[in-house]
Amino acid sequence: MTIPQATSLCIDLHCHSTVSDGALTPSDLIARARDKGVTHLALTDHDTIAGLEQARQAAGQVGLELINGVELSCLWRIQTIHIVALDFDVDDPGFRAALATQLDNRWRRARMIAERLERLKVDDLLTKATSVAGGDVPGRPHFARVLVDEGVVRDSGQAFRRHLGAGKPGDVRAFWPELDEVVAWIVQAGGIAVLAHPRKYKMTATRLRQLVSDFRRAGGRAIEVSTSGQSSGDLGFLAELCRREQLLASQGSDFHFPGAPWCELGHIMKMPDGLEPVWHHFRKPVVTG
Ligand code: AMP
Ligand code: FE
Ligand code: FE
Ligand code: ZN
């Protein structure tokens, strides 16, 4: 008799490491995921796959299944949107070239953020933010850390509200490619494009439906139905959207750092019934329910 494994699986398809704006190295992240009972993990750093090799080695050692992942920034109607790419071919030359462009875009953007925040009179802001990012390209959370350390703001929340969040001077979007282009990169690399954390964009339901419909038309196949910091109302709304648009359903914690009880690896609200899980469609399908 075979024992069904489904109930013992814990799948988390969205999280970050020090390679972007997370606090744990890829191997420490894997160790923590394993401790939290995660069996299948996608490391989805912002616009980079530089952590995947280390993560894969660590995952192999503890018997955790790693799915290729990355979270790509793009624009839809001048708003920044995040698309999680899953299960793509990491060696695809077109995808690698696209990621190189994104890295370039990120550096250009970091320079412009530093310029736009010059009036805050923080000496060597770009250098400091780069140092917080461990020498890699700094993102907005790294700039936020510098503003806190320099006493410009009280905490990172205030840094985003005043200087880096949507519509503030440090919110530089000009360098991101369009949504269609990013989805096309993923599709041609054999991956699955997932619309990340749809409730985070603070859109009206109508606008979100338009986004989802454009995303689907571009070749997007899944939406993140279950993610951290969502109400059960959000979950129900996204499940309905997912069913209506006949998209696959994904789930992920969007874990960045330990110590935030509302956002932990593998701690994801159970997906509502009647949805088709994205992991059934991986090249090596994960079989559940
Ligand atoms: P970036 O990719 O450099 O634009 O940074 C985006 C990241 O900044 C997100 O993935 C979050 O980790 C973080 N972030 C965005 N908005 C906020 C906010 N209001 N407060 C704190 N962190 C934020
Ligand atoms: Fe982030
Ligand atoms: Fe995101
Ligand atoms: Zn994320």
Tokens coding 72: 């790509």
Going by pLDDT thresholds of 50, 70 and 90, the confidence category of residue 288 is confident
Residue-wise pLDDT for 121-163, tens only, equals: 999 999 999 999 999 999 999 999 999 999 999 999 999 999 9
Average pLDDT, the chain: 95
CATH no. of 11-99+175-281: 3.20.20.140
Architecture of the domain defined by 100-164: Orthogonal Bundle (1.10)
Kindly tell me if the per-residue pLDDT of 239 is higher than 50: yes
Which residue has the least CA distance to atom 11 on ligand 1? 141
**Placement of tokens 């070239």 in the chain:** 97
Query: What separation in Å is there between the alpha carbon of 3 and the centre of ligand 2?
Result: 38
Q: 239, 275 in Cβ contact below 8 A? A: yes
Q: Which atom of ligand 1 is nearest to the CA of 106?
A: 3
pLDDT of residue 3: 43
Residues in contact with ligand 1 by the CB-under-6-Å rule are 21, 46, 73, 139-141, 156-157, 160, 165, 256
Nearest to residue 6, comparing CAs of 280, 283, 221?
280
164-168 mean pLDDT: 95
Domain ranges of the chain: 11-99+175-281, 100-164
pTM of structure:
0.96
Q: In 105-152, which ranges are E strands?
A: none
pLDDT of residue 7: 59
pLDDT of residue 174: 86
Going by pLDDT thresholds of 50, 70 and 90, the confidence category of residue 4 is very low
Cite the DSSP H helix spans in 117-223: 125-132, 140-149, 156-159, 179-188, 205-218
Which residue has the least CA distance to atom 16 on ligand 1? 165
Tokens coding 221: 């196949």
- The DSSP secondary structure of 225-259, one letter per residue, reads EEETT--HHHHHHHHHHHHHTT-EEEEE--B-STT
| Percentage, residues of the chain above pLDDT 70 | 97
Residue-wise pLDDT for 109-119, tens only, equals: 999 999 999 99
Residue-wise pLDDT for 75-116, tens only, equals: 999 999 999 999 999 999 999 999 999 999 999 999 999 999
Q: Which atom of ligand 1 is nearest to the CA of 73?
A: 2
Kindly tell me if the per-residue pLDDT of 2 is higher than 90: no
Q: 64, 30 in Cβ contact below 8 A? A: yes
267, amino acid identity: H
Going by pLDDT thresholds of 50, 70 and 90, the confidence category of residue 198 is very high
